[in-house]
Amino acid sequence: MPKPDPKPNRFAANPPAWRLSVAVAAVAGAFCLVVSALLVLNYVQVQRTSPLDNPELLALRAKLVEATGDDTAALVEQVRVLDLLARGALFTSQETLRTGAWALLAGAVVLVAALRLAARFRPIPPAAPFAPPPSEGAYWLTRARARELALFFGGLWVVAAVLAALFTPTGFRELAPAAAPAGEQAAAAPDAGAEAAPPAAAAFPSWDEVKKQWPNFRGPEGTGIAHVAAAPTAWNVETGENILWKTEVPLPGFSSPVVWDDRVYLTASDETTRVVYCFDANTGAKRWEYAVGDLPGSPGQLPKYNEETGFAAPTMALQGDLAFAIFSTGELVCLDKEGKLVWGKHLGVPDNHYGHSSSLIVSEGVLVVQYDQKKDPKIFGFNLADGSEAWVIAREKISWASPICPETPLGRMLIVNSSKDVAGYAPGTGKLLWQSKCLDGEVAPSPAYGGGVVFVANDYAMATALRLGGAADAVTAEMMWEYDEVLPDTSSPLVTEKYAYLATARAEISCLDRETGAQVWLQELEDGFQASPVLAAGNIYIVDMMGVMTLFAEGPEYKQTASIPMGEEAGATPAFIEGRMFVRTKANLYCIGGK
Amino acid sequence: MRRLPLTFAVLALALLAGGAWAEFRFPMPEFESGYTRPPMHLPPPAVTSPLVDVALLGGLMAVTAWAVVKRRSRAWVLSVCVVSVLYFGFYRKGCVCSVGSLQNVLDAFIGSGLAVPVVVSVFFLLPLVFALWFGRVFCAAVCPLGALQELCAVRPVQVPRAAEHVLGLLAYAYLGLTVVGIVTGSGFLICRYDPFVGFFRLGGELNLLLAGGLLLASGLVIARPYCRWLCPYGVLLRWVSTVSKWHATVTPASCVQCRLCESACPVNAIEFPTPADRPERRGAGVRRMLVLGAALPVVLLFAAGAGWSAHGWLARMHPVVRLADRVAAEDAGRVTGTTIDSETFRAGQQPVAELYAEAAGLEERFKGAGAGFGAFMGLVVWGRVLRLSRVRVRKDYEIDKGACVSCARCFAYCPVERETDAQA
Amino acid sequence: MDKKDAGFDRRDFLRAAAVAAAGGGALLAAGAGQAERMVWQIDPAKCTQCGRCATTCVINPSAVKCVHSTEICGFCDLCGGYLLPTAKAQDTGAENELCPVAALKRKYVEEPFFEYTVDEDLCVGCAKCVKGCAQFGNGSLHLQIKRDLCLNCNECAIARSCPSKAVVQIPLREAYRVKSFGAPEAHK
Amino acid sequence: MDQKPLIPRWAWTVLSAAVLAAVVALFLTGKPKEPGPSFRHDTSNFEKAGAAQKRFRETARFALDLANPTGIAATADGGLLVCGENTLLVLDAAGKETARHAVAGTPECVAQGPDGRIYLGMRRRVVVLDAAGAAAAEWPELDERAYLTSIAADTDCVYAADAGNRVVLRYGFDGALLGEIGRRDAAREIPGFVVPSPHLEVAMDPMTGLWANNPGRHGLEQYRPDGSLASSWYRAGMTIEGFCGCCNPMAIAFRADGSVVTAEKGLVRMKVLAPDLSLAGVVALPEDLGAASGEAAAAEDNAPVRDLAVDAQGRILALHGPWKAVLVYEEEQHAAG
């Protein structure tokens, strides 16, 4: 007799048991449906607005803030009641979710169990899916259809991908930060008498041409590098040794001299007048002077005159025959070589507690005016010819630094300090290329640049070196090193082949390794520095507040070439053209030559 | 940076370590009432020994393998299902998980390079090793997700094979996207979109709970939809399992061609014997294969191109790109108001330009990743087509080792089985 | 039984090789077992109190709670973490309380000091008090992920949504990054 | 079992496809809830509060060549004294540096006596310089806990605030310790100073009455020379009228009309309280002092205004630490033009 089958027949039906389990399943199913519906409802409610965000309660709280005196007590009562309700609601809803979840789980377990039993008690006996063996073709047909379907869906993937490509915003490359588009032509004022803008403005001179000149603060690129083969190293103001000429400058001003061909320019001012002087570079004779009169858009009111700054702190910029000057009053003028006003405008009295001091620079046929002030700071790009706006950059912070415009591997770049950051712009369009929030305090030193390295520093902040990288359309500025031993408060840093130099108001000069930031040497001198260092023919020239010009060799140790008193205080940075140097002291302008 | 006076500096350093104000403080007010401040309540983690997890994983898979290959008993498989759902599911809250471990391992090699805890790598490997010898016994009962679905698969029906083949592609896409997500540092997709973990935790994001419910409900008749058509880890197991050594067979002995098991398999893993006659002349089949094979490189290139072109869309899976999107939209005035992310970003130190640069860089990475993903999908689809074009003569009812999840349903349908049992 | 299953054949060799390779790889990934047990923690220095900890945690209520480093607490009567900036009076009235769930408790210690403690059963980790304390006071209140509640998900939902990337994975032994004098203390 | 299943098999295809589609859709559309207003604490409007009551504007800023300035005081001749790391600066009314004296150590505070002598409060002792800045005397060292944060002088004695011991010390000009003021004393109804961090300030009102801030209680207390409490005034609150957080007001200075200037930390702002201590006007708000919550500096230093003084012309002088500058404020109408 056969042994009992170890596996009972799994296909034996049992109708009564089946009916029972189906009934149970039905009940459990209904239960689950109801519970889950309730849960979802609760969940959605709480999700949409948390009971704590009950608008009524929020409104009451707001009202209570305003409330005063007798109505307060009542309000307080209401708030307390509602608040209690709200919190109650929150915790009950959480409780509900928890218990509901458990209930649902239990229900689901029962349901599944019942269904399984039901299936067990009314099994589908094993049988071929279709009585006749699959028609010979059927088998291959299925495979063929599967194949086609697979292909079809493969196609769908592709379509989906392409659609995705079409319907997504992409390319953050294009997404350059907003540089305000060229604003509507600002009121430019061609001088009534003056003939149309001189041709010089139209075709602006080549870079090689500009390099020979000293067109703006700290030289051609504004980086304190003079492109000269020789510069004077010995002179004496008493004996007149190597002093080619000396001219008295009637009015004071902190602006530095600028030179183009045979013309030297200066600005000066007192409480009431603002003047542009033009001297003959060869003789020192004053060619002409232009006193700024009433300009269009002038509010007819001057800012507070600050002895520290005066109105003539910003240095001029030159381009061929055109000379541009701005004063701390907000007056901006363009003069031709005869001293006639080509155009002029008033940029509005700057909101600046020391007085506006950022110098001008010309690049890519645009006059750049850094007009960072307390309220609504801006950088303007004006067309040389008529002073119309080429572009405007909205800025965030005030500053006293000047823009520089060096030639970088990523093209000519406008580099500007503010009291929070240093940023690079495309001079042609004013488009922001990069930005680094590495400055703080009240920034007067301008940025320095050399060999792909931007170097900025400020007292009560840090000296930071950044390496420019990336592509012309995606410039990156990564921090190389920081330094905070000695920091300048007005004197701008200088970057050379290997080194970076700082000169401080505490009479320290420090030389750092350009790559590592390691301090190569630190030298303490007599008096503090306001003016900025300039590298000319292998020597670095810097004049201190007392007017002593110090020359030291550019290099890994401090080697003083000369230290020559100019006889009076000096705050301006000297200008260099081949073989000659122009120094502005408190009351005089010197032209110094000699080997 | 300000130069702080010494005491400030010293304390500042100390405090900054704790992230507090860099500021001088006198010690707490000394209380006359002799009050002492309460200690902070910082309870230790609720740690369960990883050894228990590993032991259970291995043990349960061993039992399943035995139950499927030797004992050939579905009852055992089901009971293992219950155990693993209870332990790995409800007790461990679904968060020690082979399916998810796939991402950690990937991350270690092609992602952030973060080292993977040993336990995790064991969880990743063990199921694969078992699959190499016994087939997908992990899926059968040990994976809490699979087990949950298995228990719910009450009266499975057979989805037409053609559909089976096509829907199966989705899992490959999921796997591909997971890899993309990890290569580009966009996060762990599998964990984010685990549809069942919510049940184990008795709560979670509504959409995921709904999705899970939907899968389980449909799972009553369509067995294991997640395992078959979504699970990325399942794809790996599928590959490995095809070369498994002692994979379960429908019949314990030789097949008698009774055709009774045709309707038994809920996942279409039983391959029918090929009909005697050929659908077309041999040449035709061969030519098709050649054409398809020759076309493969072209297809791959094309698919890669398609994937590449979708990089913009794919990139949106990265939070930084989405943030950049938002910021850009706000600046351009395309949207009003701000989000928490954009507010936080603007309050922070990073300049907008940098954010855009970062986003741009990411989009670059997504170009590569997208191309790779596209090529992968191209390969998958084409591979499927090739497989369907291959004519392989089959005399018996055989198991498609890749597709079979060793649920042990079919055994009961085989008369030979009963024979052998009887003799046993 | 299938014939080729008998004995150790080429396929077996390949399998073994595959396993060995995979095992090696896994060990490699595991950094030769250097990988410690990592846990999710909030870096109080980075937290910007956006409130998402309360809403994005996978468990409800959140595993993030407010913790109080009393050693840097001022025990002020006017507590920026306890009272609404608009509070009319410095008392425990609901209309003055900043905490939306009244989880921050205030207790009189002695003139003029008050003790503040967090009721973690109520706290939802919204960081409102943290912000108030940081803005108007000493910053002694801050958020932290409670290890006993946290499921330690493979990918923390809060970390994913944190706008200031303040939720980080750190080795368990460093866990509980709490504000204090001195370095962050381990929880033992 | 019938040949044709009653549900056609393609139906299952449709069902499966539909389910998968729905699931994917659910995956892609799910987004977590954002915290509502009840979970978010917006404090920015408290930084703006008081903009309407601004009665003063910054008319000048004297940059200081001084590492870490700590204290400021006005001199009888209209100039001012600023002390900092190893240094005492003497500036004229225009902020020009007229003299610079080296000091051993960092004075926390400075004051000028009626005889022109200069009193520097070092951490634990008082150092006296003569009018020319030459060291004149050094008073005895105080105990370990001592931390002098403010110093003031009237016609017959010098008051030094010792934040560490939470008392104001009363010295004779010769350095003799004449008495302690403000130590907690229930009998004399002196509440005692509450000083969590070093911001205890003393100041003289025009009638040379001695005032001190009580930071922990957010108010001011007036004492008689004998140490008895003449009057006290507290106003805790985060609105513009009140003082909030830790140690506010953290600096005070009196103007000629008897109104008092206050500086706060945390929620950084400067206010002027009328002689009756009602709010007379706002001098500066966080954004004016580089301490608005957006700014990085805010996180770095929550007490940028280190000290206050009022000079002979009635200008308010605020010593800004991070900026190393003296901010000069004048009342609107005076400052016009």
Rg of the Cα atoms in chain A: 40
CA distances for B391 relative to A143, A212, B403, D10, angstroms: 10, 84, 19, 25
pLDDT of residue B263: 81
Give me the residue from A3, A139, A435 closest to B274, CB to CB: A139
| Contact flag D323-A53 (C-beta cutoff 8 Å) | no
A363: pLDDT confidence band, cut at 50, 70 and 90? confident
| Contact flag D194-B29 (C-beta cutoff 8 Å) | yes
| Number of other CB atoms surrounding residue A88 within 10 Å | 11
Instruction: Check pLDDT > 70 for residue A187.
Output: no
Place of tokens 């943030």: B323
Residue A535, judged by CB atoms within 10 A of its CB (0-12, 13-18, 19+), counts as buried
d(CA D59, CA D95): 12
Q: Quick one: CA torsion of A216, A222, A227, A232, rounded to 10 degrees?
A: 70
Question: What order do you get walking across the sheet with D167-171 strand by strand?
Answer: D148-153, D158-162, D167-171, D177-181
Polymer length in residues for chain A: 595
Topology of domain D48-335, per CATH? Neuraminidase (2.120.10)
| Contact flag D324-A125 (C-beta cutoff 8 Å) | no
CA distances for B119 relative to A216, A451, B122, B138, C42, angstroms: 68, 52, 5, 17, 25
Interface test with D, best of B25, B26, B28, B227 (most D CBs within 10 A): B26
Whether chain C has a CB inside 8 Å of the CB on A46: the answer is no
pLDDT tens readout for residues A11-28: 778 889 999 999 999 999
Instruction: Check pLDDT > 50 for residue A439.
Output: yes
Report pTM: 0.71
| Contact flag D65-A489 (C-beta cutoff 8 Å) | yes
| Contact flag A353-D61 (C-beta cutoff 8 Å) | yes
C121 or C186: whose pLDDT is higher? C121
pLDDT of residue D319: 95
D300: pLDDT confidence band, cut at 50, 70 and 90? low
Give me the residue from C155, C176, C183 closest to B42, CB to CB: C176
Give me the residue from B115, B132, B201 closest to C30, CB to CB: B115
pLDDT of residue B394: 82
Instruction: Check pLDDT > 80 for residue C7.
Output: no
d(CA C164, CA B231): 33
- Lowest-confidence pick of B75-84, C132-141, D9-18: C132-141
d(CA A355, CA D171): 45
| Contact flag B421-A462 (C-beta cutoff 8 Å) | no
ipTM above 0.90, yes or no: no
pLDDT of residue A142: 77
* CA closest to A82 among chain C residues: C94
Instruction: Check pLDDT > 70 for residue D59.
Output: yes
Give me the residue from A129, A157, A462 closest to B377, CB to CB: A157
pLDDT of residue D328: 93
| Number of other CB atoms surrounding residue B28 within 10 Å | 17
In chain C, what residues touch B118 (CB-CB under 8 Å)? Answer: 30, 33, 35
pLDDT of residue B222: 94
Instruction: Give the amino acid at D36.
Output: G
Bond prior to D249 in cis (omega within 30° of 0):
yes
d(CA B424, CA C21): 41
| Residues whose CB falls within 8 Å of the CB of residue C145, separated by 6 or more in sequence, listed in order | C39, C40, C41, C42, C63, C64, C158, C167
* CA closest to C79 among chain D residues: D245
pLDDT of residue A186: 32
Instruction: Check pLDDT > 70 for residue A177.
Output: no
Average pLDDT, chain D: 88
Beta-ladder partners of C97? C83
Question: In Å, how far is C80's CA from the nearest CA of chain B?
Answer: 15
Question: In Å, how far is B32's CA from the nearest CA of chain A?
Answer: 35
Instruction: Check pLDDT > 90 for residue A83.
Output: yes
* CA closest to C74 among chain B residues: B28
Query: For A455-480, what is the mean pLDDT?
Result: 87
C35: pLDDT confidence band, cut at 50, 70 and 90? low
A127: pLDDT confidence band, cut at 50, 70 and 90? low
d(CA D151, CA D168): 9
Question: In Å, how far is D280's CA from the nearest CA of chain C?
Answer: 21
d(CA A245, CA A394): 44
Please, are residues C160 and B319 in contact by the beta-carbon 8 Å criterion? yes
The encoded tokens of residue D256 equal 């000629």
The encoded tokens of residue B310 equal 């979708």
C183: pLDDT confidence band, cut at 50, 70 and 90? very low
Instruction: Check pLDDT > 90 for residue A147.
Output: no
Strands D202-204 and A431-436, bridge-based pairing? unpaired
- CA B225 to chain CA centroid, Å, is 13
| Contact flag C50-D245 (C-beta cutoff 8 Å) | no
Question: In Å, how far is B146's CA from the nearest CA of chain D?
Answer: 17
Query: For A473-483, what is the mean pLDDT?
Result: 87
pLDDT of residue B256: 81
D255 or C177: whose pLDDT is higher? D255
Please, are residues A448 and A418 in contact by the beta-carbon 8 Å criterion? no
Per-position DSSP letters for D139-201, written without gaps between them = PPP--TT--EEEEEE-SS-EEEEETTTTEEEEE-TTS-EEEEE---BTTTTB-----SSS---
Place of tokens 């184990």: B200
Report the SS3 class of residue A163: helix
Please, are residues A217 and A574 in contact by the beta-carbon 8 Å criterion? no
pLDDT tens readout for residues D173-230: 999 999 999 998 889 889 989 888 888 999 999 888 899 999 888 999 999 988 899 9
- CA A50 to chain CA centroid, Å, is 40
d(CA A326, CA A357): 9
- Residue B171's nearest CA partner among B225, B240, B229 is B229
In chain A, what residues touch B360 (CB-CB under 8 Å)? Answer: 171-173, 175, 474
The encoded tokens of residue A574 equal 């000297």
The C-alpha angle with vertex C159 and arms to C158 and C163, in degrees rounded to 5, equals 90
d(CA D126, CA D139): 5
Whether chain C has a CB inside 8 Å of the CB on B253: the answer is no
Show which subunits contact C, needing at least 3 CB pairs below 8 angstroms: A, B, D
Show which subunits contact B, needing at least 3 CB pairs below 8 angstroms: A, C, D
- 10-residue mean pLDDT profile of chain B (424 residues): values are 36 36 61 84 79 94 94 92 95 89 90 84 92 93 96 91 89 96 94 93 90 95 94 95 88 80 87 75 81 92 92 91 90 86 84 85 92 94 87 83 91 78 60
Phi, psi of D28 (to 5 degrees): -75, -25
Interface test with D, best of B33, B164, B218 (most D CBs within 10 A): B218
